[in-house]
Amino acid sequence: MKAYCLNNISKVALATLKGADTTVEDINAADSILVRSAEMKDMDLNANILAVARAGAGVNNIPLEKYAKQGVVVFNTPGANANAVKELVLAALLLASRDLIGGNEWVKANAADENIAKSAEKAKKAYGGTEIIGKTLAVVGLGAIGILVANSAIALGMNVIGYDPYLSTANALKLNSNVKYTASLEDAVKNADFITIHVPAMDSTKGMINADLITKMKKNVAILNFSRDTLVDEVALGAALEAGNIRKYVTDFANPKSVTFKNTVVLPHLGASTEEAEDNCALMAVAELKDYIENGNIKNSVNYPAINAGVKNGAARICICHNNVPGVINNFTKVVVDANANINTLLSQSRGEFAYTILDTDKTVAADAFNGVEGVIRVRVI
């Protein structure tokens, strides 16, 4: 593996690259790219690039379909930064319940007061708050982060209601049994004192916290958004904050609207900004690239299906990125037969309009033997 880094990547992760696995200074000498936040939407890749790994969960900076059509597999690192985000959400719960920032600003503004200790006793009543124990938290989205938040809130003595219409069996098994699950978003938020959002930004989730849903919430609810700003209809949010129907909004996404709202704490996208999270994300990204380059296996791709054929079983492993069209597997096996080779392993998976097939053969079959086969996007022989 020869990776080109578009951003600074964790030295801990890069230190795992040994021998032929290394980073390169020239993208033309690379077979893969490691990226964090660098914008790639207008970036055309040379034919030598086989894969891109985003050291993080969000892939809004990467043109997924464009690269899929070129046979470039894009990876992300779900869950690697989950603990870092969880801890920040817990801090946000406290910021939403106690006016810690307001109190700190008062102290700074009165730093020259020689009697500040006495003055503080009079001033502190303006910065009082509530406790979170016994309060109800609605967790919208029970993925890697949402589950950690829900379980931690239970440990802190909160009542927790979880909502996720796509909750997987694996994630359900990780969820504390005291978390009450509902398949209705309205049911999840209607009695909540705090609402925290942990769903991906998609067309179906954009503006999911809207004016209508806000009317279903308790007055004085606090909303925490550490997922994406587009999940909230900020016009409706601003009006609710101004009217006092929402008492606090804590978000990790600064934009021209959010920074002007009253009763709002806006952080500069700190969710995954810990040394540990950066190391974990980069370590996972490097491991994903290595397995794909060396073995052709795909794990945590966002534009191609997951597939794991282990290590090569035969003289060669043929890895084919292709369109998901009928009869294409028969065409692949015919090419192998015509080359007088036997198939030891055949695995194929699809994801929407794209698919990926691994063939292990007892003889090497040249990649160009697949030229002209319908649906083929890219063929690589290991």
CATH number 3.40.50.300 given to 305-382:
no
Q: Are strands 194-197 and 136-140 parallel, antiparallel or unpaired?
A: parallel
Q: Is 333 helix (H, G, I), strand (E, B) or coil?
A: helix
The SS3 assignment for 338 reads: helix
Q: Which residue has the tokens 């060396």?
A: 294
Q: Is 243 exposed, middle or buried (0-12, 13-18, 19+ CB in 10 A)?
A: exposed
d(CA 124, CA 25): 56
What pTM was estimated for this model as a whole? 0.85
Query: What is the rounded CA–CA span in Å between residue 99 and residue 250?
Result: 12
Ordered by start, the domain boundaries in the chain are 1-81+272-304, 83-96+131-266, 305-382
DSSP letter (8 states) at residue 46: P
- CB proximity list for 41: less than 8 A, separation 6 or greater: 61, 62, 63
pLDDT tens-digit profile, the chain (382 residues): 999 999 999 999 999 999 999 999 999 999 999 999 999 999 999 999 999 999 998 898 999 999 999 999 999 999 999 999 999 999 999 999 999 999 999 999 999 999 999 999 999 999 999 999 999 999 999 999 999 999 999 999 999 999 999 999 999 999 999 999 999 999 999 999 999 999 988 889 999 999 999 999 999 999 999 999 999 999 999 999 999 999 999 999 999 999 999 999 999 999 989 999 999 999 999 999 999 999 999 999 999 999 999 999 999 999 999 999 999 999 999 999 999 999 999 999 999 999 999 999 999 999 999 999 999 999 999 9
Contact between residue 309 and residue 321 where contact means Cβ atoms under 8 Å apart? no
> From its phi and psi, is residue 314 left (phi > 0), alpha (psi between -120 and 50) or beta?
left
CATH superfamily for domain 83-96+131-266: NAD(P)-binding Rossmann-like Domain (3.40.50.720)
CATH no. for 1-81+272-304: 3.40.50.720
Domain 1-81+272-304 shares a fold with domain 83-96+131-266: yes
The terminus-to-terminus CA distance of the chain in angstroms comes to 12
